Chain A
Amino acid sequence: MTNSDSGRGSSRDLLHSDRTFDFSGPKQLWQGFGQDFKELTRRDRQFSFMIRAKDLELDVSHGPILYLDGLNVSFDGFKAINELNLYIDAGELRCVIGPNGAGKTTMMDIITGKTRPDSGSAFFGQKIDLLKLTEPEIAEVGIGRKFQKPTVFEHHSLFENLELAMAADKRVFPTLLARLTGKERDRIDEVLGIIGLRELARREAGTLSHGQKQWLEIGMLLMQDPHLLLVDEPVAGMTHQEMERTAELLTSLAGKHTVVVVEHDMDFVRSIAKRVTVLHQGSVLAEGSMDEVQNDPRVVEVYLGE
């Protein structure tokens, strides 16, 4: 069919190509087709239903790994996010602070696909449009999230928690037939080491202390080999010692990963942050080093005025 003239003609229409074909030989003809199809698939990158998320590649050649532009979200008329612009560089460790209800958790909900914004754009690297991907697809392209309330799988051991979180083929039948390889065991063991819970590998996660659950959650994030980690209030309810260990853990992750931390505890933020972003009423109020931000009169007003 494609070898007949009519076939050729209709294919050209289909591709909307204004290229004139050189009919001198079949070889050139096929090359022409090849290029056209390449173009077709590239243009189609915008339509997420045509491609699998893991085939998307992260492009951070221009610096930032996360671009949030002009985002707006309202719940029943209440503007939780208001013209929010935020850029995070690859490898950065960024703290986001702000009073209760500032929209920090909602911002993470948008990035991870849980909440859809009313308007605005959210890009991961240069090319990946987060607003066109589903929650699991966003996890697949390399964004991991730790929730405000730690949720680990209480009836699974620590080892199993990490096993489930591991980057793998997560479709039903491959999961049914999956067997742990030696390499995967080593990786789980390594992460257990990073979060300092190696001795408890066989314990049921439900029996862990609050702080230990938070670390396990971070470990589960690491198992997915994410490029970007979103960490919501990691030290809430932790003892001072646990807080110090968490600070060490998060700083050790920056560089290899990009880490965005939402936190209320100022001492903790000071101990880890290079750059701090202050959110207020759904948009960025100030950005800079901890000292700059703390001396910004608007920030002082927001924090002390309430």
Chain B
Amino acid sequence: MGLLQPLKGDTGGQIMLAVLALIAILVPILNLLVPEGNPLHVSTFTVTLLGKYLTYALLAVAVDLVWGYLGILSLGHGAFFALGGYAMGMYLMRQIGDRGVYGDPLLPDFMVFLDWQQLPWFWQGFDQFWYAALMILLVPGLLAFVFGWLAFRSRVTGVYLSIITQALTYALMLAFFRNEMGFGGNNGLTDFKDLLGFDLQADGTRIGLFLASALALALGYWACRWVVTSKLGRVAVAVRDAESRVRFIGYRVDRVKLAIWTFSAVLAGVAGALYVPQVGIINPGEFSPLNSIELVVWVAIGGRATLYGAVIGAVLVNYGKTVFTGAFPEAWLFVLGGLFVLVTVFLPAGIAGLLKTLRRRRAQPETIQREATT
């Protein structure tokens, strides 16, 4: 009972989680047990695509936590996602061992290519999964903590904060593009072979990663609900609506922001770590400022400050992107921009807001009619 407490009154979230559970059960069955010729068969390609959407959904939930509930419009969450991804990528690189093109037992191919003689210190330990897992949480978390500590303490808010988050991800992108940084330059990390001993190309591994993504989304969603339904969550919303008032009541606004901001960055890092083995590559493009802006658009379209809206937005927009970029690749950015404008003007509460109004209207048609006529 206590475990379900955070989901009380969250009809949208309950439906979303139920659908997620259903997909998590059906997709493996339809992929592994239904033969390929059958129309019900789900291809491994689709499984991976779905898994990728789920990691995006987790990232969107992380963004909605800080934007919807704390009022921080982060235009740099892609950076935390990418850092989690790089930490996972480094583990996957070290798993390749001597199976690389150059066959060096220790050094990844790109280091051999650059004529490096030994493994840089920050690559040490990444042959151990537990260490990589720790870094997946720690690196985005620590960066967010330091960044947030500086920004929130000096009371940088609003547009200025958004701009420096954007600068943060841009700076990281430029840094990761450099070969000397030791992260594979503009090629990034790729040619992964296996994860925890499982072949990354195998159907079973793909299903495993898909299920892990579903589980991470469910747990991440639950954790965010737990935060927003706590008293701290109510303080966060109060900070969003009237920051100086909260300070006068006696809360340390900078600390409240710092805690939730850091937690959100860690979630984004986990999402990135699950994303990388499914798409098979991580490169500095993931730090691109445009990526971070795009994911804010997902949340806006799905509906801010609902959490499940972020999931809907991330999945729908990315499904649209998959379909659209197949047909007219150049048009996608215009479609996305247009969609954003339309939603902001006509659906300020996003798809989640639309669903809520529809449900209310069905539940009590007379009152709405009365409201409409007066």
Contact = CB atoms under 8 A, between A and B. Distances in A.
A121 B164 CA distance: 38
A220 B248 CA distance: 11
A135 interface: yes
Given A156-B237, A175-B231, A176-B230, A136 B250 contact: yes
B241 A170 contact: no
A58 interface: no
Interface in A119-160: 135-136, 139-140, 145, 147, 151-156, 160
A51 interface: no
A110 B12 CA distance: 47
B232 A136 contact: no
Interface residues of B, number: 21
B359 interface: no
B235 interface: yes
A145 B248 contact: yes
A145 B244 CA distance: 12
B252 interface: yes
Dominant secondary structure of chain B at its interface with chain A = helix
A224 interface: yes
B251 A175 contact: yes
Contacts of B256: 172, 175
Interface residues of A, number: 26
Nearest to A160: B234
B273 to A, nearest CB: 25
A50 interface: no
B248 A139 contact: yes
Contacts, number: 69
Contact of A140 (B235, B246, B250): B250
Contacts of B360: none
A147 B246 CA distance: 13
A135 B247 contact: yes
Contacts of B242: 151-154
Contacts of B249: 139, 164-165, 170, 220, 224
A19 interface: no
B138 interface: no
Interface string A208-245: 00000000000010001000000000000000000000
Interface string B225-241: 00100111011011001
B178 interface: no
Nearest to A153: B238
A210 B174 CA distance: 52
A145 B99 CA distance: 69
Contacts of A171: 252, 255
Interface of A: 112, 135-136, 139-140, 145, 147, 151-156, 160, 163-165, 170-172, 175-178, 220, 224
**Closest CB pairs A-B (n = 9):** A139-B250, A176-B232, A178-B231, A175-B232, A153-B238, A151-B245, A172-B259, A151-B242, A170-B251
10 contacts: A136-B252, A155-B237, A156-B238, A163-B231, A163-B234, A164-B231, A170-B252, A172-B255, A176-B259, A220-B249
Given A164-B235, A172-B255, 7 more contacts: A153-B238, A155-B237, A172-B252, A172-B259, A175-B251, A178-B232, A220-B249
